[in-house]
C-alpha cells in the first residue's frame, strides 16, 4: 500500500508581527509605569467615586491597619526646613548627610528620638524597622509638631514656587500652591485611629482634609 | 528563467563559476522574542493602572471654648451611626435620649450599604436637591448657563433649607472602609453638608442595645 503523504509545510512561522506587537507593548508599559519608591508601609485604600487627582504640594499622613501613624511631605526643600525646625524643637542635631538623605526619603513613622538612626539606614532595611509610629498622645504629641512645622515649611516653598511661576509669565492660582492635607488610611483600620489624627489637624485649625481612595464606578 | 543572466545555461551546469555563498537572511529571533516577552510580563505585572484619587472632606471647626453662642439649629438633618459590618443605623431630626415634651425618645432605624438600603433612603430624603440638579444639568446641556454659574447654583442648592444635612457618628468598632463607604453614598446623593461628629454616650448605649 502506498503511504499517504502529508504535505510538508515549513515548520518555521513568520513571527515578525508577533514580535512587533510584543515590543510595542513592552515600550508602552515601560513608559507608562512609574517606579514606586519603596515605602515602609502597605496600605489598602477604601474605594469611592471621587475622581480628583492627588494635588502637588501635600502633607500626607498614613495610617496602617494597626493604627500606626506615618508622616510624609512632598516638597524636598520643605523637608529640609521642616527637619531643621523639628531638630531645634526636640534638641536633636542632624548632620549635612542626614539632611540630604531625609529630603529624598519616603514616608516615615518613628519617634523624633529614633529618627537619626532611621535616616542612616539603607532604604531597603527601613521596612523592617520596628516602630510604633509617630506618637500623638496628649503628653507627647509629636505628630502635631510635624504637621505644624510641615505646614509652615510647605507654605513657604509654595509661596516661592508661586512667585517663580508668576515671573515666568504664567497666571498661577495661589490656591494651587498652598499645602493640602492628605490622609492615607487603610480600609481595615478602625476609624477611631483616623479620628485621633483628624483631631490633631482640627486642633491646628486645619479642617479641610482629603482621603486617598481608589476609584470605583459611579452608579448610573 | 530567473537565472537568465547567470550564464544562459539554465540547465544548472556550473562551469567553475564562483558563486557568493548564500547564507540565509533569516536570523534566529527566538532569544530576542523570549526576552521581549519576559520584559512584557514583568511590566504588565508591575504596572499600576489606576492612580489613587482623593476625596475631600471638610470637618467642622473645633468649637471655641470662649464662644458662648449656641450652635445653629439644623433643619432637615439625619444622623448615621456606623458600627462594624454591613449594617448601619440612623435617626432623623433631633436626638432625645428620653421623651421630651411631645416628642418620644429617639429610636434607631436599621439600614445597610446595599443599593436598596442607604442609597435609596438618601435619594428619597434628598429629592429636592436631586430634582434641582437635574434641572441645572439640563440647562447646562442646552448651554443656557455657564459652567461657573452651574457650580455656584449647585452649591447654593445643596445649602437650601429643604436639602438634607447629614451627621456621621462612629463607634469604636467602625472601620475606615465603612466611614468612606457612607461618605461616598452621601456624595452620590449630592448631599452638601456632611459633618462627622463625636458620638454621645447615650447614643452609644442605644446603638449597643440595638446590635445585641
Is there a domain that residue B9 lies in? no
pLDDT, tens only, A121-163: 887 778 778 888 888 888 888 999 999 999 999 999 988 888 8
Is residue B187 assigned to a domain? yes
Percent of chain B with pLDDT over 90: 0
Average pLDDT for chain B:
79
Nearest beta carbon to residue A182 from set B43, B54, B58: B54
List the domain range (segments joined by +) for residue B139: 127-163
Nearest-angstrom CA–CA distance, B107 and B90: 9
Which chain A residues are closer than 8 Å to B36 by Cβ?
A: 19, 22-23, 26
Q: What is the pLDDT of residue B4?
A: 43
Give yes or no for a contact between B191 and B158, defined as CB atoms under 8 angstroms apart: yes
Residues B102, B133, single domain; the answer is no
* B12: in domain: no
Interface confidence, given as ipTM, is: 0.79
Number of domains in chain B: 2
DSSP per residue over B17-43, as a string?
--------S----HHHHHHHHHHHHHH
Beta strands in A74-145 (DSSP E): 136-137, 140-141
CA distance B137 to chain A (A): 15
B82 within a domain of the structure (yes/no): yes
Task: Tell me the average pLDDT across A4-31.
Answer: 81
Statement to judge: residues B169 and B117 lie in one domain = yes
Comparing CB atoms, the residue among A52, A190, A203 nearest residue B174 is A190
| Chain A touched by B45 (CB under 8 Å) | no
**B148 with B172, same domain?**
no
Q: Do A49 and B188 touch (CB under 8 A)?
A: yes
Q: Flag whether B186 is in a domain.
A: yes
- For position B7, what pLDDT does the model report? 43
Identify all chain A residues contacting B118, using CB atoms and an 8 Å cutoff: none
Q: Which three cell numbers stand for residue B55?
A: 476625596
* Per-residue model confidence (pLDDT) at position B6: 43
**In angstroms, rounded to a whole number, what is the distance separating the alpha carbons of residues B57 and B192?**
11
State the distance between the two ends of chain B, measured CA to CA, in whole angstroms: 97
Q: Is residue B171 part of a domain?
A: yes
Q: What is the pLDDT of residues A31-56, one digit of tens each?
A: 877 666 667 788 888 888 888 888 88
Q: Are residues B113 and B84 in the same domain?
A: yes
Q: What is the pLDDT of residue A37?
A: 64
Q: In Å, how far is A106's CA from the nearest CA of chain B?
A: 17
Judging contacts by C-beta atoms under 8 Å, the chain A residues touching residue B180 are: 46-48, 187, 211, 213
Say if residue B118 is in the same domain as residue B187.
yes
Helix axes of A76-90 and A96-103: crossing angle, nearest 10 degrees: 130
Greater confidence (B75 vs A188) lies with A188
Residue B45 placed within a domain: no
Tell me, yes or no, whether B85 and B100 share the same domain.
yes
Strand-pairing partners, residue A70, are A62
Same structural domain, B157 and B168:
no
Q: Name the percent of chain B lying above pLDDT 70.
A: 85
CB B186, CB B159: distance < 8 Å: no
How do residues B105-148 score in pLDDT, each as one tens digit?
A: 778 888 888 778 888 888 888 888 888 888 888 888 888 888 88
B171 and B116, same domain (yes or no)? yes
Q: Are both B135 and B205 inside the same structural domain?
A: no
Is residue B177 within 8 A of residue B113, CB to CB? The reply is no
Listed in sequence order, the DSSP H helices in chain B are 30-46, 118-125, 127-141, 147-158, 176-188, 201-211
**pLDDT(B14) > 60:** no
Q: Do A202 and B170 touch (CB under 8 A)?
A: no
Q: How many CA atoms lie within 13 A of A23 on its CB side?
A: 8
Domain membership flag for residue B93: yes
Amino acid at each position: 500500500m502506498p503511504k499517504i503523504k502529508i504535505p510538508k509545510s515549513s515548520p518555521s512561522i513568520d513571527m515578525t508581527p508577533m514580535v512587533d506587537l510584543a515590543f510595542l507593548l513592552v515600550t508602552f508599559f515601560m513608559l507608562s509605569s512609574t517606579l514606586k519608591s519603596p515605602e515602609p508601609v502597605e496600605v489598602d485604600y477604601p474605594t469611592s467615586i471621587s475622581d480628583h487627582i492627588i494635588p502637588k504640594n501635600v502633607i500626607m499622613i498614613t495610617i496602617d491597619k494597626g493604627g500606626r501613624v506615618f508622616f510624609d511631605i512632598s516638597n524636598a526643600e520643605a523637608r529640609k526646613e521642616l527637619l531643621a525646625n523639628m531638630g531645634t524643637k526636640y534638641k536633636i542635631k542632624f548632620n549635612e548627610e542626614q539632611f540630604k538623605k531625609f529630603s529624598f526619603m519616603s514616608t516615615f513613622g518613628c519617634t523624633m528620638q529614633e529618627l537619626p538612626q532611621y535616616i542612616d539606614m539603607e532604604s531597603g532595611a527601613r521596612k523592617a524597622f520596628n516602630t510604633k509610629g509617630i506618637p500623638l498622645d496628649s503628653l507627647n504629641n509629636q505628630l502635631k509638631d510635624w504637621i505644624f512645622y510641615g505646614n509652615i515649611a510647605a507654605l513657604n516653598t509654595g509661596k516661592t514656587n508661586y512667585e517663580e511661576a508668576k515671573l515666568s509669565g504664567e497666571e498661577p492660582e495661589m490656591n494651587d500652591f498652598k499645602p493640602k492635607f492628605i490622609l492615607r488610611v487603610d480600609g481595615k483600620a478602625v476609624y477611631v485611629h483616623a479620628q485621633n489624627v483628624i483631631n490633631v489637624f482640627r486642633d491646628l485649625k486645619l479642617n479641610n482634609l482629603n482621603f486617598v481612595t481608589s476609584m470605583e464606578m459611579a452608579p448610573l | 528563467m530567473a537565472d537568465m543572466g547567470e550564464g544562459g545555461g539554465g540547465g544548472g551546469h556550473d562551469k567553475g563559476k564562483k558563486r557568493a555563498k548564500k547564507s540565509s537572511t533569516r536570523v534566529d529571533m527566538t532569544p530576542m522574542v523570549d526576552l521581549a516577552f519576559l520584559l512584557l510580563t514583568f511590566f504588565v505585572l508591575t504596572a499600576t493602572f489606576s492612580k489613587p484619587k482623593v476625596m475631600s472632606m471638610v470637618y467642622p471647626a473645633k468649637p471655641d471654648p470662649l464662644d458662648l453662642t449656641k450652635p445653629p439649629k439644623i433643619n432637615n438633618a439625619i444622623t448615621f451611626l456606623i458600627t462594624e459590618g454591613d449594617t448601619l443605623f440612623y435617626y432623623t431630626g433631633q436626638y432625645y435620649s428620653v421623651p421630651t415634651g411631645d416628642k418620644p425618645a429617639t429610636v434607631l432605624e436599621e439600614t445597610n450599604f446595599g443599593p436598596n438600603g442607604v442609597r435609596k433612603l438618601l435619594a428619597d430624603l434628598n429629592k429636592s436637591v436631586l430634582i434641582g440638579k437635574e434641572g441645572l444639568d439640563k440647562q447646562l446641556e442646552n448651554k443656557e448657563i455657564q459652567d461657573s454659574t452651574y457650580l455656584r447654583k449647585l452649591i447654593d442648592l445643596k445649602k437650601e433649607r429643604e436639602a438634607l444635612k447629614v451627621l456621621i457618628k462612629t463607634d469604636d468598632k467602625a472601620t475606615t472602609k465603612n466611614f468612606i463607604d457612607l461618605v461616598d453614598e452621601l456624595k452620590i446623593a449630592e448631599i452638601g453638608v456632611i459633618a462627622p461628629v463625636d458620638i454621645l454616650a447615650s447614643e452609644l448605649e442605644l446603638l449597643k442595645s440595638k446590635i445585641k
